[in-house]
Amino acid sequence: MDSYEEKLNILSEMIAFARVDQSIKDSEYQFLVKVASNLGIDKATFDELLKKKTTKPVLKSQAERIVQFHRLLLLMNIDEEQHEKEINSLHTMGLKMGLPPTGIAQVLKVMHKYPNKIVPPKVLIDIFKAQYN
């Protein structure tokens, strides 16, 4: 990730995704605060992002897109509820990131095999790697 602005955009996209079901639950909020911290974004800036309109990040590398997709997958599952609207939205976001449709579908299918539907990063990477071979 090159710039602070890109990090803000990534977090903004995650906030918008959390709002797909019309509200941000406490578990989602806490997860987003941790992601913000990991990205080097302070709490005050994060809280300002909650008030702003979302911008779409431009992720340059395939690795960045896979990592962002994984973040969104974790966010969707943090409250241990998956709604059809969230799943459809995540699928669409993955497509807009340029991820292969079959890889996205496979991740959404295998997530049910893992505790709390948390797909290990290696499994997710292997799924997308297989799509590019």
Q: How far apart are CA 133 and CA 124, in angstroms?
A: 15
**What local confidence, expressed as pLDDT, does residue 2 receive?**
64
Nearest Cα to 52, choosing from 2, 9, 21?
9
Per-position pLDDT tens, the chain of length 133: 568 888 888 888 888 888 887 778 888 899 999 999 999 999 999 988 888 766 666 667 888 889 889 989 988 888 777 778 888 998 998 998 889 999 999 999 998 898 888 889 899 889 988 877 6
* DSSP for 79-93, written as a single string: TS---HHHHHHHHHH
What does the domain layout of the chain look like in residue ranges? Answer: 4-132
Structure tokens at 41: 């974004």
Q: Residue 110: exposed, middle, or buried by beta-carbon count in 10 A (0-12, 13-18, 19+)? A: middle
**What local confidence, expressed as pLDDT, does residue 133 receive?**
64
* Mean pLDDT taken over the chain: 86
Q: How far apart are CA 89 and CA 82, in angstroms?
A: 11
**Residue in the block written with tokens 């997860």:** 31
- Predicted TM-score (pTM) of this structure: 0.74
Q: How far apart are CA 68 and CA 93, in angstroms?
A: 10
**Residue in the block written with tokens 């290696």:** 122
